[in-house]
Amino acid sequence: MASIKEEEVKLIGNLPSMASRKVEIALQLKGIKYEFLEEHDLKHNKSPELLKYNPVHKKVPVLIHSGRPIAESLVILEYIDETWTQEPALLPSDPYERASARFWSKFIDDKCYPAVRKYLTLGSETEVESARAEAQEGLQFLENELKGKKYFGGETIGMVDVVAVGVAFWQQTLEEIMQMEPANSCQDFPLLCAWADELLGCSVISDNLPSKDKFSSLIQSRLQFAAAASAASK
């Protein structure tokens, strides 16, 4: 009889969703085989599977293991780590270090991402400046956390690194493709810069991130949408 770990793993996700990317990275880091079920139109046409497996939030990602669903990316990441205990460990074994990893993961998800996203999608100049400052404040905490470490997880990639993948990605792509000053420039945040290089140098990570072209057009369309919305409301 196959152990529960070997039973079917599926992931309902969406290519642009950073939350889906994080879960895929975690699964691939652990070498777990899974089937990716893509949601093509989250705005207007959510699949029956998504509605069935995440009736409360109707959001991606949703991991389905042996027919049982788990939703919320941070919850999924901990589930993956506890169910498949092979290397790499996403969470360290020391309770204080675990608490720290959980704290930073939540901080990145609840504060950093929204702040950087806000900065990316705002139209007017004054709003952009204050959004940038807010994003930078959050990023400074992360910069401080990296002192003396290669990754947030120490010598190896851990949960916080996986959760912060979008931060690394934005840093590398924004300046290059957008001619936009990223909130986390290498000058202001040298440790984050070095960390992003290390992280994105891993094929498991970079294979799961959108191509720069795709990302560029996604951001462009968001900026256009925000500009149109702002013009319409004047």
Partner 1 sequence: MGKNHEEVQLIGTWVSPFVFRARVALNLKSVSYEFLEEKVGAKSDLLLKSNPVHKKIPVLIHHGKPICESLVIVQYIDEVFDGVKILPEDPYDRAIHRFWAAFLDDKFFPALKTIRMVQGEEVQKKLVEIKEGLALLDEALVKLSKGKPFFGGDQLGYLDIALSGFVAWIQVREKTYDVKLIDESIIPNLAAWVDSLRAHPAVKDIIPTADGLIEWVRVNLGPPPAPAAN
Question: Of 99-128, which residues contact partner 1 (CB under 8 A)?
Answer: 99, 102-103, 106-107
Cα–Cα nearest to 10, from 52, 50, 66? 66
Binding of partner 1 by 141 (CB under 8 A)? yes
Question: Which range binds partner 1 by CB under 8 A, 6-14, 62-70, 189-197, 223-231?
Answer: 62-70
In angstroms, what is the minimal distance from the CB of 77 to partner 1?
10
Helix (H, G, I), strand (E, B) or coil at 28: helix
**Count of positions on this chain that bind partner 1 (CB under 8 A):** 22
Contact 88, 145 (CB under 8 A): no
CA distance 37 to 54: 14
Question: Which range binds partner 1 by CB under 8 A, 10-18, 92-100, 167-175, 212-220?
Answer: 92-100
Q: Which is nearer to partner 1, 106 or 212 (CB)?
A: 106
Question: Which range binds partner 1 by CB under 8 A, 12-20, 90-98, 159-167, 191-199?
Answer: 90-98
Buried b or exposed e, range 27-51, using 16+ CB within 10 angstroms: bbbbebebeebebeeeeeebbeebe
Single residue of 7, 52, 58, 75 touching partner 1 by CB under 8 A: 75
Binding of partner 1 by 163 (CB under 8 A)? no
Residue 218 token pair:
């996604």
Single residue of 21, 65, 118, 132 touching partner 1 by CB under 8 A: 65
Strand 35-38, strand 68-71: pairing? unpaired
Binding of partner 1 by 218 (CB under 8 A)? no
Single residue of 1, 2, 56, 231 touching partner 1 by CB under 8 A: 56
Surface-to-core class of residue 155, CB atoms within 10 Å of its CB (0-12 exposed, 13-18 middle, 19+ buried) = exposed
Buried b or exposed e, range 158-176, using 16+ CB within 10 angstroms: bbbbbbbbbbbbbbbbbee
Single residue of 40, 52, 68, 214 touching partner 1 by CB under 8 A: 68
CA distance 191 to 173: 17
Contact 230, 124 (CB under 8 A): yes
Q: Which is nearer to partner 1, 81 or 198 (CB)?
A: 81
Give the footprint of partner 1 on this chain (CB under 8 A): 56, 65, 68, 70-72, 74-76, 78-79, 82-83, 95-96, 98-99, 102-103, 106-107, 141
